Amino acid sequence: MTTSRTNPNVIAVCGSLRDESRTRIATNEVLTAAAEGGATTELIDLRSYDLPRLHADETDVPDAERLRESVVQADSVLLGTPNYHGSYSGALKNALDYCRRDDFEGTTVGLLEVAAGDFPGSALGHLRAVSRTLRAWTLPTEVAIPNSQTVITDDGISDSDIAERARRLGHELVAYAGMSSYPELNQLSAAPTADFGADN
């Protein structure tokens, strides 16, 4: 990860390969909020990456190196996924499998899940466990969007409460970018900058 506290670099990895992806729309809403907070942003659209199913003996995958380079250069990473059978997408799993632990180590990570049904959230728990294994610093705020056929339109997130939570996640990806890499600054600061444990 990089260590810029001004104009942090926030990227989002969209785990949906559908052309008309509601996950991509919601992910872009979070990125828009991050950009409003002063970040440079980039959407990692896995449709444009040639990432064959991971084979441990195949080390020469140029698009895997391109993906890893983007992750390493990021101060914060948003992982967005559709809910597939109670978990996150195979496309996102494969992309994360190509990454190494030191690519994500200390990086601030936000999580977003989009579900067609009433009960999203299970994919977020799975991604939180994966992020912990990758030694990332995962934000307490996460976004779970149910009934995506009606809640997400071409214009964005129609539910005002969910839209506000998505904006909050985008702002926190900026506010907490790289925070785990600055323990000395956090300890010496005369005024506290944030309450990391709060989820208000």
pLDDT in tens, 153-178: 999 999 999 999 999 999 999 999 98
In a domain, 194, yes or no: no
pLDDT at 181: 60
Q: How many Å is the maximal CA-CA distance in the chain?
A: 51
Q: Which amino acid is at 46?
A: L
Range of 72's domain?
Answer: 9-188
Q: Which CATH number belongs to the domain containing residue 153 in this structure?
A: 3.40.50.360
pLDDT at 190: 38
Q: Is 51 exposed, middle or buried (0-12, 13-18, 19+ CB in 10 A)?
A: middle
pTM given for the model: 0.88
What is the total count of domains within the chain?
1
In a domain, 193, yes or no: no
In a domain, 121, yes or no: yes
pLDDT at 180: 66
pLDDT at 121: 86
pLDDT at 56: 76
Per cent of the chain over pLDDT 90 is 80
In a domain, 2, yes or no: no
Give the list of residues 6+ apart from residue 127 with CB closer than 8 angstroms, or none: 79, 81, 88, 111, 113
Q: Is residue 83 within 8 Å of residue 120, measured between CB atoms?
A: yes
In a domain, 112, yes or no: yes
In a domain, 43, yes or no: yes
pLDDT in tens, 125-163: 999 999 999 999 999 999 999 999 999 999 999 999 999
* Segment (H or E) for 154: none
Q: How far apart are CA 61 and CA 94, in angstroms?
A: 13
pLDDT at 192: 41
Q: Phi then psi for 81, rounded to 5 degrees? A: -145, 145
pLDDT in tens, 37-85: 999 999 999 999 999 999 877 778 999 999 999 999 999 999 999 999 9
Q: Is 70 exposed, middle or buried (0-12, 13-18, 19+ CB in 10 A)?
A: middle
In a domain, 30, yes or no: yes
In a domain, 196, yes or no: no
| 176 backbone φψ class: left, alpha, beta (φ>0; ψ -120 to 50) | alpha
Statement: residue 188 has pLDDT above 50: no
Q: Is residue 145 within 8 Å of residue 120, measured between CB atoms?
A: yes
